[in-house]
Chain A
């Protein structure tokens, strides 16, 4: 059962990622990225991370991808032109990708002591303690300061996004441009 689920959703994941690469229209790429993220949520669920599975669906497949599709719509992005790309990408990039993948795959396949994931095998053996209980206990005691700092990060990100996307800020740049 677990194996079938893994293969189905890993297949969805890879198909979505490859589809992201081959599609030439950005909206198709965005939709296939949603497929990738939603199937990753199922994989998180199988790895015993219930909270992260829900957060993946809400934050990634929900909020972030809505932002992406909204921007694609707003900018009326059409088909992308197929060009050769830079020489540096061809000469260094692709061999580097292959090398990284080969190194990571060999290390993982040779690693000893990697276990196996069982369905409904959470992080804890304590009865009545869910994944969310554990996460909350650590997040709101030990890691309270980093958690609060992220709220400041969000505030700055919101301010930055508004400042960057507002019309007023870019007027001077545009007159300087032309």
Chain B
């Protein structure tokens, strides 16, 4: 690999960044105790994966990767609408956003 660092950035750095973003999303999903912030962590994971799709589209000069990101964005928009409606419904019933106190389905 012969890379001129003045004008080019290795694609592996973009992939590492996307892996780190995904892992930070997973960590947020585990440590956050607010329902809305947990949902935001999921969005962060989706964004990390999208970055790796765009990076591979650039690597193989294939437009399909970018189209997949487009579809992921559309599904994420639908998911955010439904998910936030569910959060509002949960808040109306339980009057809390704390995931530790929403444990009705726990064994």
A positions within 8 Å CB-CB of B: 1-3, 6, 10, 13-14, 17-18, 20-21, 26, 29-30, 33, 36-37, 40, 43-44, 46-49, 51-52, 55-56, 59-60, 63-64, 67-68, 71-72, 74-75, 77, 80-83, 85, 89, 93-94, 97, 100-101, 104-105, 108-109, 111, 114-119, 121, 123-124, 131, 134-135, 138-139, 143, 146, 150, 153-154, 156-158, 160-162, 164-165, 167, 169-170, 173-174, 177
Contact = CB atoms under 8 A, between A and B. Distances in A.
Contacts of A83: 33, 100
Given A59-B73, A100-B26, A134-B63, A105 B16 contact: yes
A80 B32 contact: yes
Contacts of B105: none
B32 A21 contact: yes
A121 B43 CA distance: 28
Contacts of A46: 9
Interface string B16-39: 110111111111101111101101
Interface of B: 1, 3, 5-17, 19-28, 30-34, 36-37, 39-41, 43-44, 47, 50-51, 54-55, 57-59, 61-64, 66-67, 69-71, 73-82, 84-89, 91-93, 97-98, 100
Given A1-B7, A36-B47, A68-B84, 11 more contacts: A2-B9, A20-B28, A33-B40, A47-B57, A49-B54, A64-B77, A68-B80, A74-B88, A75-B88, A111-B12, A117-B55
Contacts of B87: 71, 75
Given A59-B73, A115-B59, A138-B64, A75 B32 contact: no
